[in-house]
Structure 1
């Protein structure tokens, strides 16, 4: 199968993004939701920012707080030379070691917001000068991450990870013009991520993949849920578990791009990571009337980190998608590379069918 990485990759990098605050630096622009809006392709990008560090050994962490009824950006300071009880080895998160083993996050090193980028050709994007949506203290004090866009009629529904010190939830918002966004609240409580909503009802109900995160038994895996109204979700059912063997999908798996409807069924690109946190993309085809029924599935990675821009970055060896578009019988996948840049890869639909044996 021919995988066509765009020759213009990466399409967006931190250098293309203006910081939201003079004290901030942009660490990454990545993991974008994708939609066709009029004659433009819209990317709703996750932009991760951190505080510029003035003194070696000290770290300032940005968070959102509410004081006297108003939200503002504040910072929490850590001194690695003195506060040695924390684990600073992961450049994404500061951890504390649990007494009985394992680690618990005490802060993220960056704060993410969502920002719109626009393009006429799907390759050359102009990203907005300012954030489109900033996190709020009550629901997203540690940031907003990994948006996914599902178009239903003229409304674009956006799921995203709402991160707080009390866990990661999944929230929903909607827009009709990518200028005004209406928050609809939390739809999956902690800890859950990677929610992708199918773009039409199936059997009279809305359907979505989600990824609960177990801490006692099992690994993070993909589940299916149903809803009458996009707000109240239930009838949870395990769809696909992480591999029990040492492989490319042994660490965790979760939703990737919003499912794309084709003449042969629902085409789903998902992500998986091994036990060393190397992220790849997988692909399968689902029955159009029974989304839990797999028609075809690739057992090896569909796309894996191979290029320099995928292997090297803020967090290397990562390809991670939140959105794809099917146009002119070609699946255009927009993906985050190494947690700091946005890229595109194209695959002919017929090649995918042949690969899946359908």
Structure 2
């Protein structure tokens, strides 16, 4: 998923240095689409600081573990584009993945006689009949949840590629320079629409390597705030059940929602937790100082537009407050452009260990780690000076979004090793094993200002 580029990256370093402070007790109580990975798709190398060539992750030789070919489309009119970014759990002796599945209208057939298109010139898109004569080569398909229908259902529309003002350079989205005057004041006159719609699908494995994928979605878009789908889940076991945070995407913004389950077979939706634009919300697996804790990632659209990891606290897992920055981008480092929480944090003797994703100026997504204080997780103790895993294989470097490793969860293998499942190039599910001690030993002490 893609995020708008931030301006003035040097502000990241200034803000990160200003962030340092001593420990204290917790207090307090898209059709428009902001992308998560829009940018050039070229080689992603940090220009100013060389990185170590020996990374800590040991990729599974069976990678990729799950591809689009392993997933049945949710509807005959759709095709699966990619499967990636899976929440992880261990239930009844099995490894369970709750994966993001991206679908689009089928590209192997011509539009049907009753095909529809979207009039994109107004403040909101309007369905119109597609004129006859267009072939599959002349259009790009898109789909979204139409909540004005009863019941709501996914609608397929075809946009002519020769439409003036259309920008199709990013295969995941449709950008259109809107002719409505008021909208030309925003984003250089462009409005972004997703070409795909996502749902969440369960896969189960007895050995953590060979997975069987459910035939039907576990969580599908249902409401207007999920118009373009549900994405990038994280699963935390707390209070006797799994709490799943996931991203809901619509014209009204990117929000974070909550669902709960005990078995990953039936789910209860709990609604929206964080307002637009907000994502990468990861709940801690236990209370700290009597309160629930979550890492969050607001996406401000004013001033420096710094996208980094924040922290928040709650008494009920619904209302969150006490928001503070924790782990911001660092200029001229591997995570200089943006940071976001990835896996659910877990306790070590040294503190809370969080595996997070970082993005450099060339929009390469890699994984690192940050160590948070065990009693006050707002305090950063240490952080990865270089990635613990960066794109290097063909399936990580080439795909729907090149040069991307993006994790949403880990599972323990034993008392010392973990397995990190990750989305590779926004296209497939892969995994790598790590030694927790090696990760901790690789961290650089955080120097507070």
TM-score interval for Structure 1 and Structure 2 normalised by the shorter chain: over 0.9
Structure 1, unmatched stretches of 5+, are none
- The alpha-carbon deviation at position 68 of structure 1 amounts to 4.7
Matched residue count: 356
Alpha-carbon distance in structure 2 between the residues aligned to 1:68 and 1:130: 22
Greater relative contact order structure (CA < 8 Å, 6+ sep): 2
Alpha-carbon distance in structure 2 between the residues aligned to 1:84 and 1:331: 51
Could you say which residue in structure 1 is the equivalent of 2:86? 32
Q: Is 1:314 matched with 2:314?
A: no
Give matches, 1:225-244, under 5 Å: 225-243=312-330
Of 141, 144, 147, the match for 1:66: 147
Alpha-carbon distance in structure 1 between the residues aligned to 2:176 and 2:437: 49
Say what the alpha-carbon RMSD is for the aligned residues: 1.6
Give matches, 1:204-219, under 5 Å: 204-218=290-304, 219=306
More strand by share: 1
Of 158, 168, 180, the match for 2:254: 168
- The alpha-carbon deviation at position 76 of structure 1 amounts to 3.0
- Calculate the TM-score normalised by the size of structure 1: 0.95
* Contact preservation (8 Å) 1:260, 1:325: no
1:233/1:330 CA distance change after superposition, 3 Å: same
Q: Is 1:194 matched with 2:280?
A: yes
- Calculate the TM-score normalised by the size of structure 2: 0.76
- The alpha-carbon deviation at position 246 of structure 1 amounts to 4.4
Alpha-carbon distance in structure 1 between the residues aligned to 2:190 and 2:273: 24
Could you say which residue in structure 2 is the equivalent of 1:88? 168
- Deviation digits for residues 187-209 of structure 1 (CA, Å, limit 9, x no counterpart): 00100110001011111111111
Q: Which has the larger radius of gyration?
A: 2
Alpha-carbon distance in structure 1 between the residues aligned to 2:191 and 2:232: 19
Task: Please state whether the residue corresponding to 1:305 is helix, strand or coil.
Answer: coil
Could you say which residue in structure 1 is the equivalent of 2:128? none
- The alpha-carbon deviation at position 101 of structure 1 amounts to 5.1
Alpha-carbon distance in structure 2 between the residues aligned to 1:136 and 1:48: 16
Of 199, 211, 219, the match for 1:113: 199
Could you say which residue in structure 2 is the equivalent of 1:147? 233
Alpha-carbon distance in structure 2 between the residues aligned to 1:35 and 1:349: 18
Give matches, 1:1-358, under 5 Å: 2-53=56-107, 54=110, 55-81=136-162, 83-97=163-177, 98-99=184-185, 102=188, 104-218=190-304, 219-243=306-330, 245-328=331-414, 329-356=416-443
1:104/1:223 CA distance change after superposition, 3 Å: farther
- The alpha-carbon deviation at position 273 of structure 1 amounts to 1.2
Alpha-carbon distance in structure 1 between the residues aligned to 2:232 and 2:176: 25
- The alpha-carbon deviation at position 177 of structure 1 amounts to 1.1
* Contact preservation (8 Å) 2:244, 2:258: yes
1:68/1:352 CA distance change after superposition, 3 Å: closer
